[in-house]
Amino acid sequence: MSFGPVIDELIDSLRELPGVGHKSAQRMAMHLLERNRVGAQRLAAALQTASVEVGHCERCRNLTEEALCRICRDVQRDPASLCIVESPSDVIAIEQARYFKGSYFVLGGSLSPLDGRGPEQIGIPAFIERMRGGEVTEVILATNPTVEGEATAHYIAELLSGKDILLTRLAHGIPLGGELGFVDGGTLSHAFSGRKPLENL
């Protein structure tokens, strides 16, 4: 059923959100138009502003409104411990667990040749450049425990083989096939405290 070009475009735009199908998008659109016009305008303004002003941190590739993100500007963080994650939502999940006090590098995805994502597409050149600084002594591979995430972790491990760097992988409690953004803080804290060197896995 078509509601007209403007409403149809709104519904289609809402379907860009992850996990939102046609029915959910239709309900959201109707709610915003029928009951919450002020909220709709606020949402539109926030999306417009964020799409223009939010970019990527020059150091870790996390989302930020400044050249360096809040975490990279924090002098209390340990620059020697570097956690590799796939997305900014993974950073949020780990930060909410309040266990990790090091720094991050956000890949922006995982290796997936079938989907056209190779080393260049997930920021491996920027990661190699980051490692040249020599301040990192431990790399924590916190890619998602999926087939692609595991392949990415092993690829990075190969890049770092032979270097004087402790390489660890999150363990204990992260379900196989799951994603970090959906794991609770307690489980993430347990996973960090039980991480092991990669060669022991």
Domain CATH code at residue 171: 3.40.1360.10
Domain-located, residue 64: no
Structural tokens at position 152 = 């990415």
- Specify the pairing of strand 102-106 against strand 138-141: unpaired
pTM score: 0.77
Residue 166: which domain range? 73-200
- Tell me the pLDDT band of 198, cut-offs 50, 70 and 90: low
Note whether residue 66 is domain-resident: no
* Measured torsion, CA atoms of residues 79, 88, 60, 86, in degrees rounded to the nearest 10: 90
Assess contact for 163 and 192: CB atoms under 8 A: no
The full length of the chain comes to 201
Residues 154 and 110 in one domain: yes
Q: Considering the domain boundaries, does residue 62 fall inside one?
A: no
Q: What is the tens place of the pLDDT at every residue in 145-183?
A: 888 988 999 999 999 988 889 999 876 566 667 777 877
Kindly state whether residues 114 and 28 are assigned to the same domain: no
Distances (CA, A) of 33 to 14, 108, 136, 137, 200: 13, 34, 51, 53, 56
Q: Does residue 101 sit in the same domain as residue 31?
A: no
Query: Do 98 and 196 belong to one domain?
Result: yes
Q: Is residue 58 part of a domain?
A: no
Q: Is residue 146 part of a domain?
A: yes
Percent of the chain with pLDDT over 70: 91
Q: State the CATH number of the domain containing residue 45.
A: 1.10.8.420
